[in-house]
Structure 1
Amino acid sequence: MTGEVACANPNYGTTASGSSFYAAMRILPQEQREAMFQIYSFCRQVDDIADSDGPREQRLAALQQWREDIDALYQGHPPARLRDYVASVKQFGFEREDFLAIVDGMEMDVPQDIRAPDLATLDLYCDRVASAVGRLSVKVFGLPREDGILLAHHLGRALQLTNILRDIDEDAAIGRLYLPKEGLVQAGISSTDPLVVAADPAVPKVCTPLVDRARNHFAQADQIMARNSRRAVRAPRIMSKYYGSILALLVARGFANPRTSVRLNKAARIAILLRYGFF
């Protein structure tokens, strides 16, 4: 899965220490913060299975074990690795289907690497690996149900499309290509080989519609956050502004080869955190 790299953490197994996620979640009250790190830890662990270089059959079996463990959690006899989740599930009303959707999303990369999915499949992938995470998260933030689901829909897709646009070369190096088939055809690219596509001079034509799509999702998310309490949307707003800035840097750099890596500098990250987290 294309996304941020996590660092080890003795308290949660995994964290996003040093990332936008970590910064955004640190401003939350303790119970909310712990619940969010549980969500993150779960995502990180299943993502690590999908991204490992182990045999595909073993990875599929490991993901299936996570499904069984989630079922056990909701049946009242959680396995050891999910025992700490019991209180959060009860307090915040996490839905079993969202955890399972995340596993399903990670699994989309396992039977075979994703290569040039059609737009419907790409949208399903974004829903499972990003918006499903959002549907869990908005319960922690305390948003009203309808707006929470809408925010998860739009912000999750905005973040994941930005990841895809940022990680074209990184994904190609491991045999994956998330750019949509329709965009490749329209740009006159016939190959679906990730390395061949990444080197094609027509890649910017494929990326432009995805940039527009991501911007639209960011705008929709902003509208939802604007009509909710500032306290409830502090963390998602930080994530939105961070990734929106990344998208702007990608557009300014362009998508033609050679594509230099894009990263928001520390001063810009701190400015976003101070503006939207504290002021």
Structure 2
Amino acid sequence: MTLETAAANASYGSSASGSSFYAAMRILPQEQREAMFQIYGFCRQVDDIADSDGPRPERLAALRRWREDIDALYQGHPPPRLRDYAPSVQRFGLQREDFLAIVDGMEMDVPQDIRAPDLATLDLYCDRVASAVGRLSVRVFGLPREDGILLAHHLGRALQLTNILRDIDEDAHLGRLYLPFEGLLHAGITSNDPLKVVADPALPKVCAPLVERARAHFEQADEIMGRNPRRVVRAPRIMSKYYRAILELLVARGFATPRNPVRLNKMARIAIVLRYAFI
């Protein structure tokens, strides 16, 4: 690992400290931990491009350069910012298409802000920005191929749907609305203006089916993790329990206005790590 990459990974670790990701990754052996921080670092960088307020053509060009760099990595000529990924790619069999899927997902937000996608598009978005990350991660964790793909599918969607429900107001102020078009229509909401939608009294009716969808994915993920050795599912189980707790806090708070931010307190986070990492 070069000094540049080591510094970058330290930065990503620092920025993730206190998060479910950081707690879950810290319990891994060194090689796995380094690979996971590389995956996290990649996701952070492309996400920062998608979320920046720079001109859209410039953001698209920056994501295109990431595609080119990923291709170069897998052709055996990694650019400087990906040079230290090569050993992890080889050691854990990380797949090029999963890295590119993440870029595809970030790109969905760039030409224009996502507003009320249909359910199929929302599911595709969740697959690209979350389950593709999971497909890389389960290879590092060491899950069997079939169960690993299934876990990435269900846990990735559970986490992303929870993020969407948690960040409704924050996303609306960025001009984005990830709540599905079908759900809005069912609730009698005809606007796709994010700020109007999040202020609508019918919003809880839109959120309820997403809560149930997320819960179903969490249950499927739990079933998969339950049939695999505890040592290989410690990290994803911690992330699952963190996010499931956040989802239930959101439900307890409700989705009507006013909506105060929801966070898992420090003692609850520590309890989850102790229970699923060490006990």
Structure 1 and Structure 2 fold alike (TM over 0.5): yes
Q: Please give the secondary structure, in 1, of the residue aligned with 2:115.
A: coil
Q: Which residue of 2 is the match for residue 34 of structure 1? A: 34
Q: Which residue of 1 is the match for residue 120 of structure 2? A: 120
Q: Which residue of 2 is the match for residue 171 of structure 1? A: 171
CA shift at 1:17, angstroms? 1.7
Structure 1 stretches of 4+ with a deviation exceeding 6 A read none
Distance of 1:272 and 1:188 partners within structure 2: 39
Q: Which residue of 2 is the match for residue 246 of structure 1? A: 246
TM-score, normalised to structure 1's length? 0.96
Q: Which residue of 2 is the match for residue 274 of structure 1? A: 274
Pairing 1:144–2:141 present: no
TM-score, normalised to structure 2's length? 0.96
Q: Which residue of 2 is the match for residue 88 of structure 1? A: 88
Aligned length: 271
Distance of 1:205 and 1:198 partners within structure 2: 12
Q: Please give the secondary structure, in 2, of the residue aligned with 1:121.
A: helix
Listed one character per residue, the Cα deviations across residues 102-127 of structure 1 (whole Å, up to 9, x for unaligned) are 00000100000000000000000000
Distance of 1:187 and 1:10 partners within structure 2: 48
Distance of 1:229 and 1:106 partners within structure 2: 33
Identical pairs, percent: 82
CA shift at 1:10, angstroms? 2.8
CA RMSD in angstroms, aligned pairs only: 0.8
Pairing 1:107–2:104 present: no
Distance of 2:53 and 2:60 partners within structure 1: 12
Listed one character per residue, the Cα deviations across residues 22-44 of structure 1 (whole Å, up to 9, x for unaligned) are 00000000000000000000000
Distance of 1:77 and 1:269 partners within structure 2: 41
Distance of 1:18 and 1:155 partners within structure 2: 20
Listed one character per residue, the Cα deviations across residues 202-260 of structure 1 (whole Å, up to 9, x for unaligned) are 00000000000000000000000000000000000000000000000000000000000
Q: Which amino acid aligns with 1:256?
A: A
Gaps of 5+ in 2: 1-5
Q: Which residue of 2 is the match for residue 218 of structure 1? A: 218
Q: Which residue of 2 is the match for residue 4 of structure 1? A: none
Listed one character per residue, the Cα deviations across residues 67-96 of structure 1 (whole Å, up to 9, x for unaligned) are 000000000000000000000000000000
Pairing of 1:183-222 with structure 2 (within 5 A): 183-222=183-222
Q: Which residue of 2 is the match for residue 134 of structure 1? A: 134
Q: Which residue of 2 is the match for residue 10 of structure 1? A: 7
Q: Which has the higher helix share?
A: 2
Distance of 2:278 and 2:155 partners within structure 1: 21
Distance of 2:278 and 2:47 partners within structure 1: 31
Distance of 1:125 and 1:157 partners within structure 2: 9
